[in-house]
Structure 1
């Protein structure tokens, strides 16, 4: 244990000793000054009761004096501020996890299951951070990287409502190519659903008429750049991407999926891909299920991640459990040195000393006087 202000003890202790010596010298000089002296007290002083009371009174007096001296030294020690130096290291396994979801209407079932499962996972997180990005034509940073798990769970609950609305819309109105085909009695419900869906769609459909839909590469690349301090590789970075890889571009995308995967690999970001089962794949699109699946698998495995195809034998729940088993990188240990005050011992001694002095003083004053 070291002292921040040792001068208090270096000066204070000699002062306390000097004060005690001066007190006793004055006490000796004043022992017989003043008052009326009594004669023939030897008989009284020889009485056993008198000796007993005098001895006890002396003990109380010495104890009071000692307690006060100890209290003063403890106070000086507190003023000197005892402390110890602690060195700590932070070699904790930590991950930054981004959920990157293609929110085109073709995979609402997969997204709804994924969000539902991740709510439970996020609630049990510790030290990891979590973020959410959603994309179609354009990307929206729905939840910036955070360790506020309550907030993340709430936002997952909110976006789950989006996928429920997508399902309601597709079940009832997905078969119509034009608004004019919708029966009049269903128009109110259609308008209600479109109004609620437009709230979510607005940010993900910027320039949709010129760029197209489900721009997978741009979505993945945008999500990658949402990681805070991307150049600092001090945490394991993971992207969980759900998509059917059914890109419908109307002009050349800025980034294709292959290029986005190479960027992720370059920045040590592992991508786990979740692909819908064949029954969920939109059969009306001019896309090929196997071709899209294999192209996505190749890009995901390029980053060192795993590719999952949801099926009757492999549910979203199984997929997320498997991703959780992946070992997180241990952060490079950062050593921190700090000074921690240690007032506990001198403060305890001070309190005991004051209580002892108070107790002895009360007994001297009230119950143990010579009569």
Structure 2
């Protein structure tokens, strides 16, 4: 244990010494108020007087000790005792990008989709998440981050914008800069390329010999894609091409489809195409109105490379004022009782 403001201890000791010296030094004018009394030894020699004097002296000693303990403990608490140590926090090695189709055909379902995203942001612990919205062009709302408070704040803004709340239409600015609408392939490709290139540089003392030689385990990469897959226009990349890019880069796509209607078993139907794109790289497909949608995505992403990394060492300062403050409280109570017993 160390004292953060250690210099308060000698300063307080000097102050206490000066106060004790001022209180105990002889007073030259003390005898001026005294009057001689004859045969006082008859009173002071009585057994009752001697017993009362001993009790008084004992309570004086108790009061003096309690006062000293109170001053010492409060001085120690004011010096802020702390414990210094280092920790290596555990970090999960997952990156998750939430990819939201902001086209007009999704307006009625966008608010519900954002609610799903908000639940995802609350469920993940230690992962980095990001949000990208797209229509004819893609806009990155916020990059990969582990600041979940900021992420939820942005998701609330997105919810208000999709609900048509006045003053929030600017949230979607930039998503309509290109030609066409709901260009799913381009949107998914933008989400895939939002992951940092190469391997993650956060180290770990555990792992294989190759990892300990300097090759750190790669973070798992997942895209949670919400779209009805109704394309209007000519995208640069089609959905299968974007799904192939995701597979090449080791990104799993988990698709949410709020417009999952029964168009038959034709592989060219929007729902079937979206399912094929999600499952191409080992992802999964969910209808948003299914009760299993959110839990299923959470379970699937949680199961992808769920190993943990040890973060960089961090210095931790923990204040320990409990013991001196408790001792000060106890000393104050003892001093109060002694003062009551010493009252005239």
TM-score range, shorter chain: 0.5 to 0.7
**Aligned residue for 2:162?**
159
Tell me if 1:241 matches 2:212: no
Contact 1:97/1:130, CA 8 A, preserved across alignment? yes
Look up the match of 1:305: 283
Cα distance in 1 for residues equivalent to 2:112 and 2:197: 26
* Contact in 2 for aligned 1:8/1:79 (Cα 8 Å): yes
Partner of 2:116: 118
1:64 pairs with 2:31: no
Are the aligned partners of 1:117 and 1:316 in contact in 2 as well (CA < 8 Å)?
A: no
Write the mapping of 1:4-23 to structure 2, written as runs, cut at 5 A: 4=4
Residues in 1 aligned to 2:137 and 2:13: alpha-carbon distance in whole angstroms: 74
> Secondary structure at the residue paired with 2:268?
helix
| Structure 2 match to 1:271 | 253
Contiguous gaps of at least 5 residues in structure 2: 203-218
1:217-366 equivalences under 5 Å are: 217-226=185-194, 233=200, 237-245=221-229, 247=231, 249-250=233-234, 253=236, 255-265=237-247, 268-275=250-257, 276-277=259-260, 279=262, 289-290=267-268, 296-308=274-286, 310=287, 315-326=289-300, 327=302, 329=306, 331-334=308-311, 335-354=313-332, 356-357=334-335, 359-361=337-339, 363-364=341-342, 366=343
Report the Cα offset of residue 220 of structure 1.
0.9
The question of whether the paired residues in 2 share the 8 Å contact of 1:107 and 1:280 is answered with no
Compared CA separation, residues 78 and 237, structure 1 to 2 (3 A): same
Residue 214 of structure 2 corresponds to which residue in structure 1? none
Deviation at 1:23, TM superposition (A): 7.7
CA displacement 1:66-89 (0-9 Å, x = unmatched): 123223432443455421124444
Give the one of 186, 200, 205 matched to 2:176: 205
Secondary structure of residue in 1 paired with 2:159: helix
Distance (Å, rounded) in 2 between the aligned partners of 1:340 and 1:199: 45
Residues of 1 paired with 2:163 and 2:19: CA distance?
77
Deviates more, 1:122-131 or 1:45-54: 122-131
Normalising by structure 2, what TM-score? 0.66
Matched with 1:215 is: 183
Query: Which structure: greater helix fraction?
Result: 1
Normalising by structure 1, we get a TM-score of 0.62
Quote the residue 1:189 is aligned against: none
Matched residues in 1 for 2:41 and 2:156: separation?
Answer: 89
1:58 Cα deviation from its structure 2 partner: 0.6
Measured at CA, do residues 80 and 105 of structure 1 come closer, stay the same or move farther in structure 2, by a change above 3 Å?
Answer: closer
Secondary structure of 1:332 counterpart: strand
SS of residue matched to 1:222: helix
Aligned to 2:309, the other structure's residue is in SS state coil
State the structure with more CA Rg. Answer: 1
Count of residues in correspondence between the two structures = 312
